[in-house]
Amino acid sequence: MKKYRGGALGVIVFVFLFIFLRVFSEYHFYCVEQNQLFLLTRFFIVDELARPGGLAMVLSGWLVQFFIIPNAGAMITAALLTSLGILLQAILRRIDLRGHGILWAWLPILSLLFVQWDFNYRLQGTVAFGMMLLVLYLVLGIRKFIPRLITSVLSSLLLFGLAGPVSLLFALSMVGYEAMSRTSRWYYSVVLPTMVLILGGLCVRYSVIGEYRFAFLPDSYYYFRLIPDKVIYFSWIAFFAALAITCLCKNREPWVGKKRLALDVSQLVILGLVFWKGFGLYGEQGAYRLKMMDYFTRTEQWDRILESCKEPVTNPLYLCYQNMALARKGILADEAFKYAQHGPRGLMVAWNKSTTLSALLSDVYFTMGNVAAAQEMAFESNIGALCGGNPRMMQRLVQTNLIYGAYPVAEKYIAVLENTFYYKDWAKAQRKFLYNDEAVEADPVLGNMRKNLLSENHLSQVDGFDTDLIRLAEQNPSNKAALHYVGVFYLLAKDVTHFKKLVETYYGTDLLPSLPLAFQEAVIILSEKDPDYWKRFGVSESIAGRFADYKRQVLAGRNNSSALPGLMYRSYGDTYWYYYMFK
């Protein structure tokens, strides 16, 4: 009966975790996949296996490559965590067959769940923890002390090589188990952590491992340039607590009847509270919208991005995605002010050298037609990725090098992507462009982007963000996005002087044959009392009439200045006039 009850609990936990992760973390898993490149080559796998913790890295990388498939990330993570919970329950029952509730078996698993939401954490840590649990379960099945000790010695060495720092967790667990079980000559087991400490020290001494924390702590399963949050240690601490409490309570009679029911209910309540609190603290819901927009950008779902921005946003990163989506749809200069805007940073945020922001800026620059800057940001994002590279940024590097005609470089990136699970077909399709200028120039994306390559070299951004874009527009008049970005940049900065120069210089040319909606609204501001000036730039009668109504309502409400912005927003919040006056 207990066997079936344990199986039913496992099914319930899996279903709950899968649904929860599917609803609240779907886009997180897509971002995790982008941050860890796994190659299906013998050289790559052997190279990983040669490092301490290599098998855990290979297994986790193999799993993460499927996270790009919808629902796969939630399913794999839920199945992995559920399996670890069932395995830990089995371990605790080997120590004490009678058991003392579910709290201690599932608290470490909850701790592992919390760390999954950290973008810089590698699934390798969870896989390694599972490998340690499996070895511990098998070792505890050996009843005689000396055979168990010998097996533990071999297991510690094996875990160090295959799973990394969890070998120290295993060694300390065995010492604790032998001591609390009052095993005769239990102190012999002290050799286990001593051996792991010596082995780890030698690896650091001879530069096999960079730092001691990577040899002995779960820091090894985190992005090496950063210091992890304390949550990464919770699963180890909770596991030690579970082991210690089970060993100390194994000679006590278990509660039965109503006491047992009360114990189970109270433990479920505690687990529920820990889960709720942990999700609030570590669920990273504040960054979830950013991950969602990143996925929509990758899959070119521009309408989904704009739909998510219907509610006013202030975060410059969200605004960058929003305005990029408008530009990709060719309506940036028409509909920019139908969405929330908060200054020119909504077009181009400052680079902070992070992989996520580098990828965003690469997308923005590519939208503008700035191939050089898009390539630079793609390269920065790729080399800063957690494990091996960013496959989407490698795709961008393939594209930019094909545009430049740097075919040997493009071919190297293609060869890498051909050895991946998800991107191999795309990579193979790019080979038709190698050493084939005609094919590149005939392609609607690559060919048009090649036209954006400047005939003269300039240092990027030295003369200003706007100057670079004007050069791109002059080089390729069909690149409307570049000039529209410049115009909207001036409007967001309320720089009417440069905007006036822009429209007077390029209106009626191939670069700006007609004025988009937002530009027409801004032209009225340039010369508010001169309708002939408006007609010179083709301002429509409907826009001129709407401005007259706008001006009349502003004058009527000027005695109530505190309420005026709210009153005007209802009818004119989607105009440049409102932005210029009230934002």
pLDDT interval class at 454 (50, 70, 90): confident
Average pLDDT over residues 150-155: 96
Q: Is the pLDDT of residue 447 over 70?
A: yes
Judge whether residue 327 has pLDDT over 70. Answer: yes
Please give the mean pLDDT across all residues of the chain. 91
What is the spatial distance between Cα 556 and Cα 180, in angstroms, rounded to a whole number? 84
Which among 155, 213, 211, 145 has a CA at the least distance from the CA of 179?
A: 145
pLDDT of residue 182: 85
Round to whole Å and give the CA distance between 417 and 395.
Answer: 8
User: Exposed (0-12), middle (13-18) or buried (19+): which is 44, by Cβ within 10 Å?
Assistant: middle
pLDDT above 70 for 6: no
Range of lowest pLDDT (66-80, 116-130, 308-322): 308-322
- What pLDDT band is residue 313 in, cutting at 50, 70 and 90? confident
pLDDT of 1: 47
Nearest to 18 by CA among 109, 102, 60, 81: 81
Look-up: residue for tokens 């006039």?
577
Radius of gyration (Cα) for the chain, nearest Å? 30
**From CA 111, how far away is CA 237, in angstroms rounded?**
9
Q: Are 440 and 402 in contact (CB under 8 A)?
A: yes
Q: Map out the domains of the chain as residue ranges.
A: 2-283, 299-450, 484-582
Per-residue pLDDT at 302 exceeds 90 = yes
CA–CA distance, 203 with 339 (Å, rounded to integer): 56
Average pLDDT for residues 494-501, to the nearest whole number? 94
**What are the tens digits of pLDDT across the range 387-410?**
888 999 999 999 999 999 999 999
Global pTM exceeds 0.85: yes
Q: What is the model's pLDDT at position 318?
A: 94
Per the structure block, which two tokens stand in for 65? 């490559």
Question: What are φ and ψ of residue 387, in 5° steps?
Answer: -140, 100
Q: How far is CA 192 from CA 171, 188, 248, 547, in A?
A: 5, 8, 22, 81
User: What would the mean pLDDT of 464-484 be, rounded to a whole number?
Assistant: 89
> Out of 169-178, 191-200, 274-283, 559-568, which region has the weakest mean confidence (pLDDT)?
559-568
Over residues 11-20, the pLDDT tens digits come to 999 999 999 9
What lies within 8 Å, CB to CB, of 332 at 6+ separation is: 323, 326, 481, 484, 485, 488
H/E stretch holding 323: helix 316-328
pLDDT over 70 percentage in the chain:
96
Q: What percent of the chain has pLDDT over 90?
A: 73
CA dist., res. 111 & res. 274, Å (int): 9
User: Mind listing the pLDDT tens digit for each residue in 56-107?
Assistant: 999 999 999 999 999 999 999 999 999 999 999 999 989 887 666 677 889 9
CA of 136: how far to CAs of 132, 142, 190, 386, 453, in Å?
A: 6, 10, 16, 30, 60
pLDDT at 557: 78
CA-closest candidate to residue 347, choices 469, 213, 431, 517: 469
Q: What was the pLDDT predicted at 255? A: 65
What's the mean pLDDT in 329-357? Answer: 92
pLDDT computed for residue 4 by the predictor: 55
The pLDDT, as a whole number, for residue 97 is 74
* Beta-carbon-side half-sphere exposure of residue 583 (alpha carbons within 13 Å): 22
Q: Is the pLDDT of residue 147 over 70?
A: yes
Place of tokens 């300039």: 458
Q: Looking at residue 101, what is its pLDDT?
A: 66
How much is the pLDDT for 254? 67
Task: Please say if the pLDDT value at position 3 is more than 60.
Answer: no
**Stretch 343-355: mean pLDDT, rounded?**
89
The pLDDT assigned to 60 comes to: 96
Stated as kind and residue range, the H or E segment containing 546 is: helix 541-556
Question: How confident is residue 160, by pLDDT bands cut at 50, 70 and 90?
Answer: very high
Tally Cβ neighbours within 10 Å of residue 400: 26
Mean per-residue pLDDT, 270-294: 90
> Model confidence over 521-565: pLDDT tens digits?
999 999 888 889 999 999 999 999 999 999 988 888 777 777 788
Q: Is residue 441 classed exposed, middle or buried when 0-12, 13-18 and 19+ CB atoms within 10 A define those classes?
A: middle
How many residues are listed for the chain in this entry?
583
CA 148 to chain centre: 43
Given this model, what pLDDT does residue 459 score? Answer: 58
